[in-house]
Structure formats: structure tokens, C-alpha cells
Amino acid sequence: TQLLEQSPQFLSIQEGENLTVYCNSSSVFSSLQWYRQEPGEGPVLLVTVVTGGEVKKLKRLTFQFGDARKDSSLHITAAQPGDTGLYLCAGVVLQGGSEKLVFGKGTKLTVNP
């Protein structure tokens, strides 16, 4: 069974601070996705990283895929209250011709004004 460990589980910071969320596994994934989920809503895809060592930027968010494709990080610069939400990483697993997502438990981020 492939597991993804996310840390920290909870994070409360002040507006303007920087933060990093980590997603780690002992398994190799073909790719990894990051989602953001707001209360009462479904997850929304932020980014997919595919190549080991890949770095992708989405405005103030920087995503990195580990060289061995087992881990990833999400860095937010100058966090804003609008960044508040549950951040989920999901590893993509190829199983019998199907792609499946293995989710981490998420990091609940609160950005205080």
C-alpha cells in the first residue's frame, strides 16, 4: 500500500509570512498532484508535477517534485488570508492500466489577517 505523509497537519500563520508544506512517501509515483480544498467543497487541482526535480510556480506558490519522485513540497510566499484552506497532495499510481490517486491527509492552513 502506497502512503503519502503530509506535514505539518495544521498550520496557522500571519498574513505576509512564508510557509512550506511537505509530502513524503517511501514509494515512487509517476506524478504528483497538489489540490486545495475549501470547507464544504471538493478539491481543486493546483498543479501536477511529473519529472523528478521539477519545479513549478503558480503566482506565489512554488511546487517541487523530489529527484526520486517520492516526495514533494509546496512553498507559499507572503501568504494571504485567501490562501486559507486544506492542501492535499496526491500521488498518481498506475495500476492495471488505470490511474489512481493516493491522497495524503492534508495540511490545514489558516492565514490570519
User: Rule CB under 8 A: which residues touch another protein?
Assistant: 4, 9, 30-31, 33, 35, 40-45, 48, 50, 88, 92, 94, 97-101, 103-106
CB 77, min distance to another protein, A: 25
Complex with another protein: residue 36 or 76, whichever CB lies closer: 36
- Neighbour count for residue 40 (Cβ, 10 Å): 5
Complex with another protein: residue 74 or 78, whichever CB lies closer: 74
Asked if residue 70 lies in contact with residue 53, where contact means CB atoms within 8 angstroms, the answer is no
Looking at 10-106, which runs of residues are DSSP E strands? 10-14, 19-24, 31-37, 44-49, 55-58, 61-65, 71-76, 85-95, 98-103
CB 69, min distance to another protein, A: 12
Provide the terminal-to-terminal Cα distance of the chain, rounded to the nearest Å: 40
Complex with another protein: residue 77 or 93, whichever CB lies closer: 93
CB 16, min distance to another protein, A: 27
Q: How is residue 70 written as a grid cell?
A: 517520492
CB 12, min distance to another protein, A: 15
